[in-house]
Amino acid sequence: QLQLQESGPGLVKPSETLSLICTVSGGSISSNNDYWAWVRQPPGKGLEWIGYIHFTGNTYYSPSLKSRVTISVDTSKNQFSLQLTSVTAADTAVYYCARRVVTTGGVDYWGQGALVTVSS
């Protein structure tokens, strides 16, 4: 059974960089048929797609966040990561890592989510 787990600081100061890691277990991140994605959800609000990466390193970012986002992959550790620069209070959210299947497009496995608060 594939499992994903987010980890990282729960509190980040304004203007600093938010960094999260997603550890994948029960399967290999080096699958041709999988993308590895980040999605966020501000408290009480809807879902926002951040972007995704293939193990080959190809990345795809949402235009609204593209200038501040970097997603990278470490196949040796079966992990992928998210960096979001110059954060503000508007970046406070639950951040989910997830798997998107290349052939179907559906996001079928999700982490439990990590709340990141931006505050001084």
Partner 1 sequence: DIQMTQSPSTLSASVGDRVTITCRASHSISYWLAWYQQKPGKAPKLLIYKASSLESGVPSRFSGSGSGTEFTLTISSLQPDDFATYYCQQYTTPSGAFGQGTKLEI
Minimum gap (Å) between residue 116 Cβ and partner 1:
15
CB of 50 to partner 1, least distance (A): 8
Measuring CA to CA, which residue among 51, 30, 29 is closest to residue 96?
Answer: 51
- Residue 46 or 119 having the CB closest to partner 1: 46
Q: What is the smallest separation between the CB atom of 72 and partner 1, expressed in angstroms? A: 16
* Closest separation in Å from C-beta 2 to partner 1: 13
Please identify which residue in the block is written with the tokens 């989910």.
Answer: 96
Residue 40 or 55: the one with the smaller Cβ distance to partner 1 is 40
Burial category of 49 from C-beta neighbours within 10 Å (exposed 0-12, middle 13-18, buried 19 and up): middle
Residue 15 or 56 having the CB closest to partner 1: 56
Contact in structure between 7 and 111 (CB atoms under 8 Å): no
d(CA 20, CA 11): 11
List of residues contacting partner 1 (CB under 8 A): 37, 39, 46-49, 51-52, 60-64, 96, 98, 100-101, 104-108, 110-113
Amino acid symbol at 2: L
